[in-house]
Every structure is written in structure tokens, then in C-alpha cells.
Amino acid sequence: MKFNRPLYYCSECKTVVNELDQLLFIEPETSKGFCSERCIEDFYNPLITHFENLEKKIREELSIGHEMIRSSLDDKSLIEAVISEPGEVWQNKNELNESLFTYIRHFGDYSAVVIASVYNEEASFVFFRTLTRSKKFLEQFRSPERDNKQIPKSDPERSFSEEDMLFMQELENKKSRLLADLLIKRTDNDIPFEQFTDYEDCFQDCLESPDEVFESKDKEGDTFFIYIKSFLRNGFNFFYIISCLKRKDTETPEDVHVFPVLAFPTMDVELVRDFRSGSKIAAGPLKN
Ligand SMILES: [Zn+2]
């Protein structure tokens, strides 16, 4: 260690480390790095308490009190189930560009809520989780920034085998990761989520006659096709992007089946550039 070298240290205990990659992070684009899991917990524990107190206060205000709800899953599995396959994902961003993500999953007569930070497209630290049957309480977690309407539903007419179920689960996992990633990359002046439904008619057009199709692999080695098409409407120029997951067909490998995972409109040229990665292919094969 020398005086004239860059200084990196743990935000909690201030231990100095030699290299940046010796620090652990729970959120992107932050200076808050930690030397150990223990320091992450010590640093964020007061926020866990904050959320617990907030829950108590809001439950009192809504006269809900403590609800006796028993999940068949243990705490850890429940959190994983909610994050990997959420029914809703909401982003809560402050003016320092720090974001927390709220995942909600509905089970039978109750819902589970998990608030977590996201790093490298994965939930990195859980700040809060609760179970509730109260619609009013659930409403408290939904931020105005987000709805999930733009996600196309997969083909409902197929009869489901167990393999199909597993693939559907995989699709859901991919979807929540892509969504979290998109929320991070989106600029605030882009087309608002609430208006995505106004662009749904671009979906078919984009799939059938895309301007460009890119093929790329994600971290898990799964192949994605990215369909991009530009539109001009009433003098307003925008792009429509669809991320499709390729399904490997073991019986007839020459058949390519792709499933839309995420579709959305954007005006952000930078974001489009981001999606134009991998190898460019001719207008892609689609069988859904
Ligand atoms: Zn430390």
C-alpha cells in the first residue's frame, strides 16, 4: 500500500482494501462498498428497523394489526419464491439515484411483499418482507412509477406438460431480471410505464417485420432474440423492443421456438443501443 495509490475502504468499518474488487456492493453506481457480509448487515440494519417500524405504524393506521398468516414455505424459500417469480415489481427511486425494488407475489388468499436492492440484475439485500390479506395495506407498496401491463402473456392454448411448467417458471425468472435491469437503465424522461398499453399494437408489427434482430446469450447461457423496430407516429419517433427467449427443442432441433419475455416502447436511443448487442441476424424466425 502506498500514499499515491487509489484508496478503497469499507463504508461500515473503514477497513482499507488493496483493490476495488475486494469490496462487496448491494447496489449499482454507488460509493457504498463493504469488506464483508457482516459489515453489509451492520450498515443496513437500521433501515430494516425503519421498515419494521413503518409497517407497525401503517398497520395501526389501517386498523389491520398483526395478521396470522402461515406460509408453507420457510422464510428464505418464501423470499426466493417472491423475487424469482413476482406478480408485480415496483421501483422506488430517490433523487440520489438509489433504488429499492418491491416484489409482490399473490398466493391463494394472501400476498407476500419483499423489498430488496438489486445488483447485477439480482436481488442483493432484503430490507423487508411481510405477508398480508389486506388490499389497502398492499396498496401502500405500489409506487406510481410502475405497472406490469406491457408484459405479453404467453400462449394460453398449449396444454401444459411438466417441462412446459418448468419453462414457464424460467420465463418468469428471466422476466423479472430483465425488468429490474430495464428499470435501472431507463431514463426519467422516457415513455412512462402507464402509457405502455397505448403502444401494444406495435407488438405484432415489431415481431413480424422488425428493422433488426439480434441474437445474444445471457449470463446463464440462454439465447435471446432482440426484435427492434422504429415507428413514426404523428411526427413522434420511437422504438419498440421485444426480448424473446429461445426454447431448445430436443426432439426437433431444427425448429426454433421463441417466447416474448419483455416488450416495451422507448424514445431513448442509448437504451436501444444497449439492446443492439450480440450478433445481428436476418429478420428472425418466430414460432410461438
Ligand atoms: Zn467492513
pLDDT one-digit tens code per residue, 15-25:
999 999 999 99
- pLDDT of 200 over the 50 cut: yes
> Cell digits for 17?
482494501
Cα 178 to ligand 1 centre (Å): 31
- Model confidence at 239, in pLDDT bands (50, 70, 90)? very high
Check residue 22 and give its pLDDT: 95
Cα 13 to ligand 1 centre (Å): 4
Q: What is the pTM of this model?
A: 0.53
Residues 234 and 251: beta-carbon distance below 8 Å? no
Cα 21 to ligand 1 centre (Å): 14
Q: What does the pLDDT average to over 83-108?
A: 89
> Which DSSP symbol is given to 34?
B
In a 13 Å sphere around the CA of 15, the CA atoms on its Cβ side amount to: 16
Check residue 148 and give its pLDDT: 47
The more confident residue out of 195 and 58 is 58
> Cell digits for 34?
463493504
Check residue 144 and give its pLDDT: 66
Q: Tally Cβ neighbours within 10 Å of residue 86.
A: 24
Cα 44 to ligand 1 centre (Å): 12
Q: What does the pLDDT average to over 240-259?
A: 76
The two counts, helices (H) then strands (E), for the chain are 6, 11
